[in-house]
Amino acid sequence: MNAFIALVRKDLVLYFSNRRALLMSIAAPILIAAFFGSLFGNSDSKPAHINVAVTDLDRSELSGRVVAALRGEATFDVTEVGEADALAQVKAGKLAAAITVPAGFGKLAGSAMFGGTKPELVVHYDPSQAMALQVVRGLMAQHVMQTVSQSLMSASSPLLSDLRDRTLQSTSLPDQRRLELTQMFDSIAKVQSTSMPASAAPKAAAFTLPYVTREEPASARPETKYNSYSHSFAGMGVQFVLLMGVDLGVGLLLMRRMGLWKRLRAAPLSRGKLLGSRIASCALIALVVFAIVYAAAMAAFGVRIDGSVPGFIAVLVAFALLTGSFGLLIAAIGRTPEATRGLAILATLLMVMLGGAWVPSFIFPEWLQKLSLFVPTRWAVDGLDAMTWRGLPFHDALLPVAVMLGFAAVFTSLAIWRFDWEE
Digit-coded pLDDT (tens) for 53-84 = 999 999 998 899 999 999 999 889 999 999 99
Report the alpha-carbon distance of residue 312 to residue 304 in Å, rounded. 11
| pLDDT given for residue 206 in this prediction | 46
Integer CA distances (angstroms), 182 to 41, 111, 149, 174, in order: 56, 18, 21, 12
3-state secondary structure of 98: strand
| pLDDT given for residue 358 in this prediction | 85
Q: Which of 178-182, 216-220, 271-275, 282-286 has the highest mean pLDDT?
A: 282-286
| pLDDT given for residue 350 in this prediction | 85
3-state secondary structure of 52: strand
pLDDT at 344 over 60: yes
| pLDDT given for residue 297 in this prediction | 93
| pLDDT given for residue 204 in this prediction | 42
Domain chopping of the chain, boundaries:
50-153+201-217, 227-418
Model pLDDT for residues 14-24, shown as the tens digit of each residue: 666 766 666 66
Model pLDDT for residues 396-407, shown as the tens digit of each residue: 999 999 999 999
**Comparing C-alpha atoms, which of 228, 85, 94, 106 is closest to residue 158?**
106
| pLDDT given for residue 223 in this prediction | 63
Lowest mean pLDDT among 33-42, 221-230, 337-346, 371-380: 33-42
Lowest mean pLDDT among 183-197, 252-266, 330-344, 359-373: 183-197
Looking at domain 50-153+201-217, what is its CATH homologous superfamily? abc type-2 transporter like domain (3.40.1710.10)
3-state secondary structure of 26: helix
> Average pLDDT for residues 319-333, to the nearest whole number?
88
Where does the pLDDT of residue 205 fall: very low under 50, low under 70, confident under 90, or very high at 90 and above?
very low
> Average pLDDT for residues 251-270, to the nearest whole number?
65
For residue 143, give the amino acid letter. Answer: H
Where does the pLDDT of residue 150 fall: very low under 50, low under 70, confident under 90, or very high at 90 and above?
confident
Where does the pLDDT of residue 328 fall: very low under 50, low under 70, confident under 90, or very high at 90 and above?
confident
